[in-house]
Amino acid sequence: MATHEEISAGLQSFYEGYQKNSKLKLMNRDWNRVIRIIASDIDSQHTLTLQNGELTVTQGVSDQNPDLVVTSDSETLADLFYGDITPTEPYMNGTLVIQGSEDDIVRLDFISLMIWGE
């Protein structure tokens, strides 16, 4: 089990990876989304907000309704945002549950792979 702080640190790492990738910002300039991250086994929630290609990460729940809700156990979330695992396998085996449109799920997977992919 990971802690809330570890998930926060993982998200910070994800954020830094995003910030370094100017191409990724350009690619996402049309994709304005609010993404809620929920740990299923500990009290931990975060919000990712994408607006005009810029990403912000905040602790807790935003006032805005989320377009995507990402739920998993704390260990998987920490591993995922640190780039130790890719989202595909936990998504396919049901460990990682993403509620949202299929197009948005593919897009989130894409962002993760652009940051951490080969």
Q: Per-residue DSSP letters for 44-108?
A: -EEEEEEETTEEEEEES--SSPPSEEEEE-HHHHHHHHHTSS-SHHHHHTTSSEEES-HHHHHHH
Strand partners for 33: 50
Closer residue to another protein (CB): 63 or 92: 92
Under rule CB under 8 A, how many of the chain's residues touch another protein?
23
To 5 degrees, how large is the angle CA 32–CA 7–CA 27?
Answer: 25
30 binds another protein (CB under 8 A): yes
Query: Which CB, 44 or 72, lies closer to another protein?
Result: 72
Q: What is the footprint of another protein within residues 36-95 (CB under 8 A)?
A: 86-89, 91-92
Residues of this chain that interact with another protein (CB under 8 A) are: 23, 26-28, 30-31, 86-89, 91-92, 102-103, 105-107, 109-110, 113-114, 117-118
